[in-house]
Amino acid sequence: MFKLWATILKDIRILTRDKVGIALMFGMPILLVIIVTSIQNSTFQLLNKNKITLLLCNRDTGKISQEFIQAVDSIGMFKLVQISKDLNEKCITDQMHTNDALLAIVIPTDFSVQTDAKAKIITSKALNSFGLEADKIDSSAGNVGPLTLYYKPVLQESFRRSIQGAIYSALQLIQSKQVLRSLYISINEKTLPQSLEDELINNKISINEVPVSKDNSKTIPNATQHNVPAWTIFAMFFVVISLGASIVREKLSGSFVRLKTLPTSYFVSLLSKQITYLLVTMLQAAIIFAIGIYLFPKIGLPALNLPSDILGLICVSLVCGWCAVSYAMCIGVFAHTQEQANGFGAISIVILAAIGGLMVPGFAMPESFRTIMKLSPLHWALQAYYGLFLEGGKLKDVLVNIIPLLSITVFLQAITILGLKAKKLI
C-alpha cells in the first residue's frame, strides 16, 4: 500500500509540474464548452429571439402579395426589408451583402392576379363537385409563377428548410384565404365578413410543448444541458494527451529500466496512473459542471441543472473517467513515441466523439453509422449523461448505458495487459 501511495504521490507531482498538460486537460475543454455552448445558444436565440433579415422584392402590385407579406411578417422570424421592385438578380444579391441579409425573396409580377385566378378555379371545381352551378373559368389560368428565395450559402440546410417551411405556411395561408373568399362570394354573392374570416382562418389550434422526462420534471432542454455533459466526456477522454504521453515517456526513459530492476511490479505504476488520472477526470467533471452552474448565468448562458440523482451522476462520471483512463493507457502502451501517442490519441478521440454523437446527434446520423456509433465509448457515456441530465433518469435507468461502457473499459484493460506482456514490460 505504501508503494502505491508513493507512486501516486510521484505521479501527482509530475502531473502538477506539467503546465502544458494541465492546460490541455483543463483549459482547453473549459474553453471548448464555453465557446460551443455560446454558439449553440446564440443559434437558438437567432431562431427564437433575434430576427433574420429578409429582403423583399415585391414586383406584384396587387392586394394578395401585401397579405402574403403580412403573413410572413406575422411568423415573427424575420425582419422584413422592402427593396425596389425593379432590381435584377445581381442587384438583389448586392443588396443582400449591403444589408447583411441571409435571405431575399422575390414576389413575381401578377402574383395577386394569378393567386386569385387559381382560387377561382378551385372554387369552381369545388362548387361543381357539390352539384352547384359555377361560373365558367379558364382552367389553364391556374398556375401561379414561383416565388424566388435567395439565400447565403452559410445558411445551414436544416435552418434553410425550416425557413422554407415557414414561408410555405404563409403562402398556404393566403391561398386558403383566397379560396375561402372566392367560395363565399360564389355562394352568398357578397364578400366574406372579416370576423368570419378570422374565425375560419386565423383561429389556429395551439401546440403545447411538453418535454418528456423520467422524473416528470418540466425542465426545458437548452444548449447548456446538451453541451456540458457532451464536452465533459470529451475533456475526460482528452487525458489521452497527458497520460498516453506520460506512459510513453516513462517507457523510453531510463527510469523505466530502473523500475524493472526493483522488487516491485509495474502493475503498481499502472494502478497508480489509473487512480491519479481518474482523480483528474473527476476534477475535470466537477470544474466543468461548476462552470455550467455558476459561471454560465453570469455570461448570459442558461445555467446547468444537475440531475436529481447525484449518486447516478457520480457513478456515470466514474465509469466514464475509468474508460477514458483505460483508453489512454492502451494508447500509451502501444505507442512507440510521444508523437504517436499524442497524434493518434487526439485524432482518435475526435473521431470517436464524432461517431459517438457528440458533434452530430445520433438520430441525425445515417443508419450505417448508428451501428458503428455503438463501438464508441463516448456514445455510451453521452447516452448515460443524457439519461440523467435531459430525461431525469436515475442510476437504474442508465445502467443500460453503463454496462456497455464498463465492457469497453474491461476490454481496453485486457488489451493493455496483453500489450505489456507482448512487449515484455511486465
Task: List interacting residues with another protein (CB under 8 A).
Answer: 2-3, 5-7, 9-10, 13-14, 17-18, 253-255, 257-265, 268
Minimum CB separation of residue 32 from another protein in Å reads: 27
Within 200-337, where are the H helices?
Answer: 223-237, 245-252, 254-260, 266-290, 310-334
Of residues 1 and 205, the one with the C-beta less far from another protein: 1
Q: How far apart are CA 110 and CA 117, in angstroms?
A: 10
The conformation of residue 190, written as its DSSP 8-state character, comes to S
CB within 8 Å of 145: residues ≥ 6 apart: 108, 109, 110, 111, 114
Phi, psi (deg, nearest 5) at residue 382:
-65, -45
CB of 161 to another protein, least distance (A): 55
Whole-number Å distance between alpha carbons of 266 and 248: 14
Smaller CB distance to another protein: residue 4 or 185? 4
Question: Whole-number minimum distance, CB 162 to another protein, in Å?
Answer: 54
Min dist CB 268 to another protein, Å, is 8
Question: Least distance in Å: CB of 421 to another protein?
Answer: 13
Question: How far is the C-alpha of 113 from the C-alpha of 63, rounded, in Å?
Answer: 9
Contact 398, 423 (CB under 8 A): no
Nearest residue (CB) to another protein, 6 versus 403 = 6
Name which of 45, 44, 37 is nearest 297 in CA terms: 37
C-alpha cell at 145: 409563377
In angstroms, what is the minimal distance from the CB of 239 to another protein? 18
Instruction: Return the number of the residue (63 or 423) whose C-beta is nearest another protein.
Output: 423
Residue 205 or 262 with smaller CB distance to another protein? 262
Q: Does residue 239 sit in helix, strand or coil?
A: coil
Residue 13 vs 218, nearer CB to another protein: 13
Identify residue 23 by its one-letter amino acid code: A
Task: Give the separation between CA 90 and CA 366, rounded to whole angstroms.
Answer: 38
**Rounded CA gap, 193 and 261, in Å?**
98
Q: Please, which residue, 227 or 272, has the CB nearer to another protein?
A: 272
State the minimum distance, in angstroms, from the CB of residue 335 to another protein: 19
Nearer to another protein, 218 or 258 (CB): 258
Least distance between another protein and beta carbon 346 (Å) = 22
All three cell numbers of 315? 457513478
User: Which three cell numbers, joined as nine digits, stand for 159?
Assistant: 435552418
- From CA 219, how far away is CA 216, in angstroms rounded? 9
Write phi, then psi, for 392 (nearest 5 degrees): 65, 25
